[in-house]
Structure 1
């Protein structure tokens, strides 16, 4: 059930962040946020997170670098968190690059909110 699932939204756009947060809160997810790569790593180390929505173009450390760092974490609970890339530039990356970095799935921008909920559910209900 969504009630006890925590989603980390890594997004530097306040508009997208707040919209995404509202949509997922309506589904009863607990939401944590990070506006840059440094905050992502801090949140992951200090909280139990079930899924990360990772904007690839966040400041300090981009989404691909954050994903690699999370995958390299010695703590199994952290290194195995499902990561969903969120990007308006998916064409800049191949599925191979996503897989190599450790990304489980991706959502193109502009976000389709039904698709967002469906994708998050896929990883929280497994």
Structure 2
């Protein structure tokens, strides 16, 4: 059974590229455009990983990560979260860890690195 990834990204271009590339890796992709939609989906169905843009409308990635970690562990509360951000310099690694983000990738996205990172979380559980 293929693993499910939730992509939260407000840019349609990045969202579509990410969806295509990860689909080629045999992942099942769902995508949303803001943090509120992330929580809505995570409350309905299980996922194996969240790719979370930091700068989104309605609820940003930092706040969204904190809310995900409040979910019960068996209801996506322990899901790996990989942040995607164009402003990684605005946050320290400690700040990402504090809100529950497991790893972050800078924009512009290097899609080879994205695939390697996602695959490592899916196979090792990092």
| TM-score range normalised by the length of the shorter chain | over 0.9
Q: 1:30 aligns with which of 21, 28, 31?
A: 28
- Give the secondary-structure state (helix, strand or coil) at the position aligned to 2:50: strand
Using the TM superposition, give the Cα deviation of residue 76 of structure 1 relative to its aligned residue in structure 2, in angstroms: 3.3
Q: Deviation of residue 77 (structure 1)?
A: 3.9
- Structure 1 residue matching 2:76: 3-state secondary structure: helix
Q: In the alignment, what sits opposite 1:9?
A: 7
Report the TM-score, using the length of structure 2 for normalisation.
Answer: 0.95
CA distances 1:45-95 after superposition (whole Å, capped 9, x unpaired) = 112110100000011110000000010112434110000000000000000
Q: Distance in 2 between matches of 1:104 and 1:75?
A: 15
Q: How far is the alpha carbon of 1:122 from its aligned partner?
A: 1.0
In structure 2, list runs of 5 or more residues that go unmatched.
none
**Runs of at least 4 residues off by over 2 Å:** 74-77
Which sections of structure 1, spanning at least 5 residues, go unmatched?
none
Q: Aligned match of 2:65 in 64, 67, 76?
A: 67
Cα drift, residue 37 of structure 1: 1.1
Partner of 2:119: 121
SS where residue 4 of structure 1 aligns? coil
Count of residue correspondences: 124
Kept after mapping to 1: 8 A contact 2:35/2:61: yes
- Give the match for residue 48 of structure 2: 50
Q: CA deviation at 1:96?
A: 0.5
